[in-house]
Structure 1
Amino acid sequence: MKEYTVAAVQMNSQPDLDLNLEQAYGFIKEAAGKEATLVALPENFAFLGKLDARLEESEKISVQAEKFLADTAREFGIYLLGGSYPVLSASGKVFNRSTLISPDGSTLASYDKIHLFDVDLEGGESYRESDYVQPGENEPVTYKSEDLGIIGLSVCYDLRFPELYRVLSKNGAELLAVPSAFTRTTGKDHWHPLLRSRAIENTCYVVAPAQTGLHGKSRKTYGHSLVIDPWGSVLADAGEDTGIIYGRCDPKHLEEVRRSIPSLKHRQL
């Protein structure tokens, strides 16, 4: 792992593929101009609408999203985390897939979201992700790069399952990626403490690019994309506006934190 700048893009994606890709391109170009080595997009960056619409348009979305990620990473010579987008599965449902793209446009790693968001919140707010999304295999995904170190992949609701991140850290993760579209209802109370906890308990950097604002007519997301260091300190918080935040991933700081609090070495289970 070398010292490098990571950029987290905060978007307000809509049920409009072309508009979303145009928005993402502008942010990626800006981040690349500020010498970000890794640029991370949020969950559902290419399309954020009703789940049934996402299913119906999944083939078109996935083809264009994958081409966009490869072309854009290659154009700017960056590592690009394609937060997530729908990919049609053999079951007829879609995988909620996150991919890590290299500066030459090739796919380095991909992860299909394991934990699905099936909840009933106060005020009649309800989500049934499993109606349309096929969970990925229960196989945590890490990728090792000389430039980026070891990255552990996850998506949004995975954040509530610390055992996933423990496995990622056991597999050597130094940076945990958590692209999300966290609801405003839950985000205001849970987003910051959950992300800081994952950083602290695994002594890892965390990059969490997020969706923000109103999507379509009713869905509201919390925003507050974060970059967090292994001590649990928030290096950057995007607030509620769309835009980009930056943080430095420093292997020396990572080593110092792990030497100071060697909890990973003290595990008994």
Structure 2
Amino acid sequence: MTSHDTARPNATNKSLRVGLVQMRTGRDVAANLETAIALIREAAQEGARYVQTPETTNLMEMDRGALFEALATEEEDKTLAALRALAGELKIHLHIGSLALKVSENRAVNRAFVINPAGELSARYDKIHMFNVDLGQGESYNESAAYQAGEKAVLADVDGVNLGLSICYDLRFPALYRALAEAGAQVLTVPAAFTRPTGEAHWHVLLRARAIENGAWVLAAAQGGKHENGRETYGHSLVIDPWGRVIAEGGANPGVVLADIDLGAVESARRRIPSLSNGRRFEVQGPAGSGYLHTVGEAP
């Protein structure tokens, strides 16, 4: 699966060719790495200067015992070391959507990395929002049982372009993306492993909404298909422009999605709909006697 956009950027505007790697990560860390390397190479060969992989690139494991037996620390993780070397070899910005990493004997983190063309780490981000949900019909998830949540939103620089980092379930919390956009993000990234039912219902509409409300490009590399652990993910890696249009899209199977993104489109969208500059702080007050008062909104 390789998908190209049909629109090309204006010559007068800064453009960036991006590649989204769609995977079907399993329980074998070495096999997952081999697949990731092959797809990253394919994206780079097609001219991508920025390549993004999906959430949990290194391992998809729901059994807690098996998970911690397979996990390594950031310093010892072989996937991270290999992908740093690969970014340096290919001279690309490589965004590892996330790796599952051990931070103690019984706690892990879901951590994203941005690696520069010299193979150096330029940013890391720990997933803030934990997916704790019962979807019914025997399908439930409790990320916080094994993973500790991040506490900081993060921006990364890629060829002078500001990327706002997020991971999967973060997508359902629009305040995060508004904060990233207000901090200067021109591109919002959402590497993910959305379940098939939630993906079918919400994936496209949520990603398009984040693009529209912030006047930003959205890049979302996804896991797709039936995994070894029994989980089924939605796939459909997406590139969405700041006006909310889908520029490139993957299907359900592993592959590469390519697009040329025009950074001038960010300025254009924000000029047409200046919601970032028009936002105001306001208070929400509860019914009389409730004592509920909460201040929300954009910074003045």
TM tier, shorter chain? over 0.9
1:31 partnered with 2:38: no
What is the correspondence of 1:187-206 to structure 2 with a 5 Å cutoff? 187-206=199-218
What CA deviation, in whole Å up to 9, does each residue of 1:187-234 have, x standing for no partner?
100100010011110111011000001111420000001010100000
1:66 partnered with 2:75: no
1:5 partnered with 2:53: no
* Aligned residue type for 2:56: N
Q: Provide the residue aligned with 2:177 in structure 1.
A: 165
1:262 partnered with 2:263: no
Worse-superposed segment, 186-195 or 242-251: 242-251
Q: Provide the residue aligned with 1:233 in structure 2.
A: 245
Q: Please tell me whether the aligned partners of residues 152 and 175 of structure 1 are also in contact (alpha carbons under 8 angstroms).
A: yes
Hey, what's the Cα distance between the residues in 2 that align with 1:181 and 1:240? 12
Hey, what's the Cα distance between the residues in 2 that align with 1:11 and 1:178? 15
SS in 1 for 2:244: coil
Q: Provide the residue aligned with 1:56 in structure 2.
A: 69
Shift of 1:257: 1.3
Shift of 1:91: 7.2
What CA deviation, in whole Å up to 9, does each residue of 1:111-154 have, x standing for no partner?
000100110012110111111001112x1101234x15100000
Q: Please tell me whether the aligned partners of residues 40 and 82 of structure 1 are also in contact (alpha carbons under 8 angstroms).
A: yes
Hey, what's the Cα distance between the residues in 1 that align with 2:279 and 2:261? 25
Q: Provide the residue aligned with 2:53 in structure 1.
A: 41
Structure with the largest fraction of helix: 1
Q: Please tell me whether the aligned partners of residues 51 and 132 of structure 1 are also in contact (alpha carbons under 8 angstroms).
A: no
Q: Provide the residue aligned with 1:103 in structure 2.
A: 117
Hey, what's the Cα distance between the residues in 2 that align with 1:29 and 1:143? 22
Q: Provide the residue aligned with 2:288 in structure 1.
A: none
Query: CA separation of 1:254/1:93 partners in 2, compared to 1, >3 Å: closer, same or farther?
Result: same
Counterpart pick for 2:186 among 169, 174, 191: 174
Q: Provide the residue aligned with 2:157 in structure 1.
A: 144
Q: Provide the residue aligned with 1:216 in structure 2.
A: 228
Shift of 1:56: 2.4
Hey, what's the Cα distance between the residues in 2 that align with 1:100 and 1:81? 4
Hey, what's the Cα distance between the residues in 1 that align with 2:99 and 2:130? 14
Q: Provide the residue aligned with 1:128 in structure 2.
A: 142
SS in 2 for 1:75: helix
Q: Please tell me whether the aligned partners of residues 51 and 129 of structure 1 are also in contact (alpha carbons under 8 angstroms).
A: no
Hey, what's the Cα distance between the residues in 1 that align with 2:63 and 2:98? 14
Hey, what's the Cα distance between the residues in 2 that align with 1:51 and 1:136? 22
Q: Provide the residue aligned with 1:75 in structure 2.
A: 89
Hey, what's the Cα distance between the residues in 2 that align with 1:27 and 1:77? 15
Structure-2-length-normalised TM-score? 0.86
Hey, what's the Cα distance between the residues in 2 that align with 1:51 and 1:150? 37
Q: Which runs of 5+ in 1 are unaligned?
A: none
* Max Rg structure: 2
Structure-1-length-normalised TM-score? 0.95
Query: CA separation of 1:122/1:22 partners in 2, compared to 1, >3 Å: closer, same or farther?
Result: same
Shift of 1:262: 1.4
What CA deviation, in whole Å up to 9, does each residue of 1:42-79 have, x standing for no partner?
00111112251222211178611210220110111000
The aligned length equals 267
Hey, what's the Cα distance between the residues in 1 that align with 2:68 and 2:232? 20
SS in 2 for 1:182: coil
Hey, what's the Cα distance between the residues in 1 that align with 2:58 and 2:104? 22
SS in 1 for 2:77: helix
Hey, what's the Cα distance between the residues in 2 that align with 1:45 and 1:15? 11
